[in-house]
Amino acid sequence: MASADRVLPRKREDDARSELDLRVQDPAALEEIELYSELIIVAGESSRPLSRDEIDRVLGVTRPQAIS
Protein backbone atom coordinates (compact mmCIF):
# COMPACT_ATOMS: atom_id res chain seq x y z
CA MET A 1 0.00 0.00 0.00
CA ALA A 2 1.33 3.44 -0.97
CA SER A 3 1.83 6.07 1.65
CA ALA A 4 -0.22 9.24 1.46
CA ASP A 5 2.83 11.41 0.71
CA ARG A 6 3.52 9.38 -2.46
CA VAL A 7 0.09 10.05 -3.94
CA LEU A 8 0.17 12.85 -6.49
CA PRO A 9 -2.54 15.47 -6.22
CA ARG A 10 -5.22 15.29 -8.90
CA LYS A 11 -5.30 18.12 -11.39
CA ARG A 12 -8.22 20.42 -10.91
CA GLU A 13 -10.51 21.01 -13.88
CA ASP A 14 -9.57 24.72 -13.83
CA ASP A 15 -5.91 23.78 -14.23
CA ALA A 16 -6.68 21.62 -17.26
CA ARG A 17 -8.68 24.42 -18.87
CA SER A 18 -5.88 26.93 -18.34
CA GLU A 19 -3.58 24.65 -20.35
CA LEU A 20 -6.06 24.42 -23.24
CA ASP A 21 -5.13 26.61 -26.20
CA LEU A 22 -8.44 27.91 -27.52
CA ARG A 23 -6.77 29.31 -30.64
CA VAL A 24 -6.37 25.79 -31.97
CA GLN A 25 -9.61 24.71 -33.59
CA ASP A 26 -10.66 22.00 -35.98
CA PRO A 27 -13.58 23.30 -38.06
CA ALA A 28 -14.54 19.80 -39.24
CA ALA A 29 -14.65 18.48 -35.67
CA LEU A 30 -16.68 21.49 -34.49
CA GLU A 31 -19.19 20.92 -37.31
CA GLU A 32 -19.48 17.23 -36.41
CA ILE A 33 -20.10 18.14 -32.77
CA GLU A 34 -22.84 20.58 -33.81
CA LEU A 35 -24.54 17.99 -36.04
CA TYR A 36 -24.30 15.33 -33.33
CA SER A 37 -25.81 17.76 -30.82
CA GLU A 38 -28.73 18.50 -33.13
CA LEU A 39 -29.32 14.77 -33.59
CA ILE A 40 -29.29 14.18 -29.83
CA ILE A 41 -31.85 16.96 -29.31
CA VAL A 42 -34.23 15.61 -31.97
CA ALA A 43 -33.84 12.04 -30.73
CA GLY A 44 -34.48 13.16 -27.16
CA GLU A 45 -37.70 14.88 -28.18
CA SER A 46 -38.96 11.81 -30.06
CA SER A 47 -41.08 9.16 -28.39
CA ARG A 48 -39.69 6.47 -30.70
CA PRO A 49 -36.45 5.65 -32.50
CA LEU A 50 -35.74 7.90 -35.48
CA SER A 51 -35.97 6.42 -38.95
CA ARG A 52 -33.00 6.64 -41.31
CA ASP A 53 -34.84 9.29 -43.33
CA GLU A 54 -35.43 11.39 -40.20
CA ILE A 55 -31.78 11.10 -39.22
CA ASP A 56 -30.73 12.09 -42.73
CA ARG A 57 -33.02 15.15 -42.58
CA VAL A 58 -31.54 16.26 -39.24
CA LEU A 59 -28.01 15.85 -40.57
CA GLY A 60 -28.81 17.51 -43.89
CA VAL A 61 -27.95 14.43 -45.90
CA THR A 62 -29.37 14.24 -49.39
CA ARG A 63 -29.49 11.09 -51.40
CA PRO A 64 -28.63 11.11 -55.08
CA GLN A 65 -31.62 10.84 -57.36
CA ALA A 66 -31.98 7.63 -59.36
CA ILE A 67 -31.15 8.07 -63.02
CA SER A 68 -33.93 6.82 -65.31
50 or 2, which is more confident: 50
Nearest in space to 31 (alpha carbons), one of 60, 52, 2, 3: 60
Alpha helices (runs of H) in 1-68, residue ranges in sequence order: 13-19, 27-45, 52-59
52 or 1, which is more confident: 52
Q: Where are the domains of the chain?
A: 25-62
- pTM flag (> 0.85): no
Which residues have a Cβ under 8 Å from the Cβ of 49 and sit 6 or more positions away? 43
Nearest in space to 59 (alpha carbons), one of 41, 18, 26: 41
Convert the pLDDT of each residue in 6-53 to its tens digit: 555 555 555 555 666 667 678 888 889 899 999 999 999 999 999 999
Find the largest Cα–Cα distance for the chain: 76
pLDDT given for residue 17 in this prediction:
58
Convert the pLDDT of each residue in 52-67 to its tens digit: 999 999 988 887 777 7
